Amino acid sequence: MDTGGEEDLYHLAERLLMEVDDLLPILEGAVLLGFARVEEGDVRITPEGIHFAQADIAPRRLLFREAALKHILLFQQIANALAAKSDQSIPLALFRDILDEHFPDNEVQRQLEIALDWGRYSGLFTYDPESERLVMMAEPVAATALNRSEKAP
């Protein structure tokens, strides 16, 4: 943000040519991931958010993955369940059942759709609609590239 990392929510929506109601779900995700904070109607980008925004595409996916695993319980549960399975796959129904105990059907579906989208984007897992299973993806290319560059002399 050109405003030092903080801006009024309504001014931000205006600058982005968006309705505030359309911006709120995006901000909710950014806050959930630790990339932004919203306080008293002002949006402030966090240092993690700045790092994410300035990163190239591959490292950005890795940063997203790390943030999701750090802040989102459902992602932690999925990652742990996948890692514990020898074939690194689990039925999506397992998480549908878990969420179903706490949320109405439409919210369960919404959360699962977001988890699937974010899982694919982050390279954590994908969904096989034929088997209706979540499948852990191999280590993302960004992680491999970052590990190599960190080990370079």
**Residue numbers of the domain that contains 26:** 6-53
Q: Dig out the tokens for 47 from the structure.
A: 């240092």
Q: Same domain for 49 and 118?
A: no
Q: Residue 130 domain-assigned?
A: yes
How many angstroms separate the CA atoms of 141 and 122, rounded?
11
User: For 18-62, what is each residue's pLDDT tens digit?
Assistant: 998 898 889 999 999 999 999 888 899 999 999 999 999 999 999
Q: Residue 93 domain-assigned?
A: yes
Residue 127's contacts (CB-CB under 8 Å, 6 or more residues apart) are 92, 116, 119, 120, 133, 134, 135
Q: Same domain for 77 and 134?
A: yes
Structure confidence at residue 152 (pLDDT): 46
Per-residue pLDDT band at 17 (split at 50, 70, 90): confident
pTM: 0.81
Question: Is the model more confident about 3 or about 104?
Answer: 104
Q: Same domain for 61 and 26?
A: no
Q: Dig out the tokens for 87 from the structure.
A: 């074939």
Structure confidence at residue 140 (pLDDT): 52
Partners of 43 in beta bridges: 7, 38
Question: Is the model more confident about 143 or about 71?
Answer: 71
Residue 4 amino acid letter: G
User: For 83-114, what is each residue's pLDDT tens digit?
Assistant: 999 999 999 999 999 999 999 999 999 999 99
Q: Same domain for 84 and 98?
A: yes
Q: Is the pLDDT of residue 153 over 50?
A: no
Q: Dig out the tokens for 129 from the structure.
A: 């609609």
Q: Is the pLDDT of residue 144 over 60?
A: no
Sheet of 36-39: strand order equals: 6-8, 42-45, 36-39
Length of the chain: 153
Task: Please name the residue ranges forming H helices in the chain.
Answer: 9-15, 20-32, 47-54, 57-71, 73-84, 92-100, 105-122, 141-151
Q: Is the pLDDT of residue 8 over 50?
A: yes
Q: Is the pLDDT of residue 141 over 50?
A: no
